[in-house]
Structures are given as structure tokens and as C-alpha cells.
Structure 1
Amino acid sequence: MASTDVPEHIFRSKRLLYRAAEDNEEDKAFLQKQILNDHTIQAMSTARLARPAHKRSSEEFVRRFHDAVLGVMICLQPEYQRRDDTKPSSDTETFKLTPIGHLSLFNILGQETSHHRNLTLGISLAPGFRGKGYGGEAINWALDWAFRYAGVHRVGLSTFSYNENALKLYRKLGFVEEGREREAIYHLRVWHDVVSFSMLEHEWEKLREVEKI
């Protein structure tokens, strides 16, 4: 795809659809129950102390989505609901979207440093939707959005040295390991490193075979 080509559906990838996080009870309940209170996410994806998250935590989470450069709910693509093998009359005749996780791109350095075009990526998937390739698909979509539409120069992310699946995925997607915060995470009575990765604009261009402007 040339650098000026516009995809048919900007907020979709092969199997997923990306929508804004709404300040409603449904989205907040999903985030509280499936993300913030999931023990795997608490152990593998966040440095927060593992403890039950109350409803107010999900409200704060949604507010951070709204403050981010990009904050989306990751949903499964809707399937048309057919009646008597006929096609639907409009795109609105779909099954209800099923959220399976969230993704955000945010400026960790603060709003006054936006001229550096340096964003950090965060992502989590709910139980039952991991290990199916959804995480890699969503990250690739977010990279394309960042470099094509947001004028970003660098996208960074990090994980813990004991999260082997994340380390393998980020390297597979083309992220470059930049360094480590040694023994910065305490997990199950053992100290672990925080491993930092990034992808630069020219590295993304090479991966996607995009013409440089």
C-alpha cells in the first residue's frame, strides 16, 4: 500500500473493530471485571499492587482513555445477522459488538512534550481471548494508525522479563529492545527487569514497505 492510500475501514483490522471507550455502565463493568480484576493481567501487565479493583477504578480508567492520544476498546468484528439466508438491509443489522480488551497510545512525558512525537502503547486482552493472535493484530493496527494518521515518530512499550509471551510477540512484530530497568519489579518474592522496546517511523516504513515521503 502506498503512503497516500486510505484503507476502506480505518477502525478495523482483519478480525477486530476498534471503538471509543464509553462512559457507561457496560464498558466500566467490562473493564472492572475482565481487565482490572483479572489476576493474569495484574501479574503480567501492570506494576500495580495486586488487589481487588473497585468500581471507581474503572471510572478512572475510562478517563485516562479519553485523555490519551488514542484510547479504544478492542472488539470482535460484527457478523451480519441473516434471516432466511437473506442479506441485511443495512450495516446496522449486526450482532452486538463483543469487547475483548483495550488499547491505548499515550504521551507518557506529558502534553507539553507532544512535539517529540513519542508515544507509549498499552494493551490488555480479557480471559479467553489470549493466544489467538488478537494482541498482535491490534498492535499492528495501532502502529499503522500512529505512523499514518497521528504523525508519530516513535512508539514504545515495555514488559516484564518473566513475561516470555510478550517478549516473543514484541520482537516478532518488529520492535527493537532498547534496554532494561534492572530488578525494578518484585513478583512472587523475586526481582525482575522491566524490558523496554520501541519502533521508529523508518522501521515501520521498512516493515510495511511504505514509500517514504
Structure 2
Amino acid sequence: MSNVPHETDRPVRFLEGARVYLRPLNQEDSELYYRTLYHPEVRRLTGTQKHFTKEQISRYIDGKSQDSSCVLLLIALCEDDTVIGDIALQDIDGMNRTSNIRIAISEQFQGKGYGTEAMKLMLDYGFGILNLHRIELNVFSYNARAQHVYEKVGFVKEGLQREALFYNHQYHDSILMSILEHEYRAKYVQAP
């Protein structure tokens, strides 16, 4: 008998890059999602203020799977299927062809280019499959590393929401950034 995993044992690879792939979030992932949500650095970088129970996380996952205005995916390493974070296109507006994007990478996997690759995969899906025109995000002023990654990927700073987040006894600014479809295509899509 072979020790090679059977195809049905492998996670589905919805969007695949060179080092990471994006896959659907399932109920089996609720414990992992719950634990990641309580990592102090993940909470700080995402500005997460609320607490959640395992049951709430389970309902959240169910709800997102039914929500046509959201694409929530886990980020995993190609080499061994280790889940290192999540990424989502949210508030998808088909009429205006807009969406918001968010990403969270576990601390030990930051600074290795995985987030950049995951963002490019999701942007390619948003512009190339969902036919979006504009994708925006917010990043907190204390997260200089993320700001740098977003700019490198092609996002442009549009504005500043002053003191929009209260976290750890003080207010922080939120920076609004966006990328338009023609900007993405000029940077990443090869002409035929």
C-alpha cells in the first residue's frame, strides 16, 4: 500500500501560486481560526477588539460560505499545507464593481513574501474573474510593514481616517488605500 496521500485527503487548492495557495474555509477549520484569532499580534495588527466563542466562529464560517458578497479563503503553504493565515474579498458590490480586501498572516510567517503572493492571487481573482474595477483596504498607521507590502503590490494611498481605531489605550489612524483594475493589469497582466 502506498504512503502517498489519496487525492481526496488533500486540501482543495482554489488559487495556487509558487509558494502559497488559497483554499476554502470549512467547519473543520473553526478550531484553527478560533486559535489564530486570539494570537495577540494578529489581534493588534487587525485591530480586533471583540472576543468570540468557538460557536460564534463556527456560525461566522457558515455565514460566510452563504454570503455572495464575500470570498473568504485560508492561506496555506504549497510545500506542506500548513495554514498561515486568511484573506478575504468583502463587501463585493457588483453594480459598482468594488470590494474591500483584508489579509492576516501568522506572526512567524510574516516578512517572507507569503502575504505579497497571497494578495496577488486574490487581486488576480478579483480583477480577472469577478471583473471588479476597484479593490480597497484599510491599514492602521502602526502597521508600517503591511503599508509597504500594499504599496509594493500596487495599492495607492487615498486618505487618512484620523483616530479611527481605539486600541491598547490610545487612538490610531487608519489609512485608506486602493488599486484599480487598469493599475493592476498594467503591473501584472501580460499583453497577448
Q: TM > 0.5 between the two? A: yes
State the 4+ residue runs in structure 1 displaced beyond 3 angstroms.
209-212
2:112 matches 1:132? yes
1 CA distance for matches of 2:179 and 2:191? Answer: 17
**CA displacement, residues 23-54 of structure 1 (integer Å, 9 cap, x when unaligned):** 22xx00100012x11111111113424x5x32
What residue is the counterpart of 2:9 in the other structure? none
Give the secondary structure class of the aligned counterpart of 1:180: strand
Is 1:141 aligned to residue 143 of structure 2? Answer: no
Distance 1:45 1:56 in 2: 21
The DSSP-based 3-state class of the residue aligned with 1:102 is: strand
Partner of 1:193: 173
Q: Structure 2 counterpart of 1:16, which letter? A: V
Greater radius of gyration (CA): 1
- Which has the bigger relative contact order, CA under 8 A and spacing at least 6? 1
Partner of 2:30: 28
Q: In percent, how many aligned pairs have the same letter? A: 29
Q: Counterpart of 1:116 in 2: which secondary structure?
A: coil
- Three-state SS of the structure 1 residue aligned to 2:88 is strand
1:142-161 alignment runs, 5 A limit:
142-161=122-141
Unaligned runs of 5+ in 1: 1-8, 80-96
Q: Does 2:49 align with 1:48?
A: yes
Tell me the TM-score normalized by structure 2. Answer: 0.84
Which one-letter code corresponds to 2:98 in the other structure?
Answer: N
Paired residue type of 1:76: L
Query: What is the CA distance between 1:10 and its match in structure 2?
Result: 6.5
Aligned Cα RMSD in Å? 2.0
Q: CA deviation at 1:153?
A: 0.5
- Structure 2 gap segments, 5+ residues each: 1-12
Cα distance in 2 between the residues matched to 1:210 and 1:201: 14
Task: Give 1 or 2: higher strand fraction.
Answer: 2
In structure 2, what residue type is equivalent to 1:11? L
Counterpart residue number, 2:89:
105
Whole-Å Cα distance in 2 between the matches of residues 206 and 105 of structure 1?
A: 21
2-side partners of 1:114 and 1:63: how far apart?
22
Distance change in 2, residues 1:136/1:156 (3 Å)? same
**Greater Cα offset, 38-47 or 145-154:** 38-47
Give 1:199 shift.
Answer: 0.3
